Chain A
């Protein structure tokens, strides 16, 4: 934690290595958040880049009152949501007979850590891809709240702050999002 603050200080003084080390430390988490949100590798890569660049440019606003990670994930969340809004507008202004290159469009394989058998790996991989496929079908606001609570494990208050809504809104949105995901899983008889 103190290390992060030191690295931010270095980066602000123009020491590139400071920011490089912050990227190295957080890139997997940021990329994962972007992947879970966008549902594909190409968009996830663009979003992650954008998030770090935005973070770099607004490093001066990081006050050190929250953890750097929390601040960075908030920046990432906003980049994802902004991008989604931008695409929505773009899609609306596109002619209707054009195919839409949506952010949900394709599902690519997911990389897994080692340490488990091939069978288990395959099973887990299938399951993870399937969950991602279902996440992609949710509305962005529902998907985001699931990511922040159940994947990133932020508290209701932290998420409320990130999304600039009340904690009560998070409570009901999360309840709705989990219910929608539950129904989708039930449709496929995924539960034992």
Chain B
């Protein structure tokens, strides 16, 4: 399998959502391909950055506004 095909699988691979065969193909390719290793590490960084975005605080008047519309 070439780089472009492997790269299509990396997103699912990092989520452990590839089949056993796909996982084997990806892992054996990664062993010898720096480009795909880089891409995987960038993907991991992206997911990390998104996961660490803070939870925001909802404005305090939210419940009052909801209540007004429900009454």
Contact = CB atoms under 8 A, between A and B. Distances in A.
A19 B71 CA distance: 13
Interface residues of B, number: 30
B59 interface: yes
A147 B63 CA distance: 24
B47 A45 contact: no
A187 B26 CA distance: 26
Contact of A171 (B17, B47, B50): B17
Interface residues of A, number: 46
Interface in B5-29: 8-12, 15, 17
Main secondary structure of the interface of B (DSSP, over half): helix
A110 B55 CA distance: 10
B55 A150 contact: no
Contact of B53 (A27, A131, A179): A131
A174 interface: yes
Interface of A: 16, 19-20, 23-24, 27-32, 35-36, 41, 44-45, 48-49, 52-53, 56, 110-113, 124, 127-128, 131-132, 146, 149-151, 153, 156, 171, 174-175, 178-179, 181-182, 185-186, 191
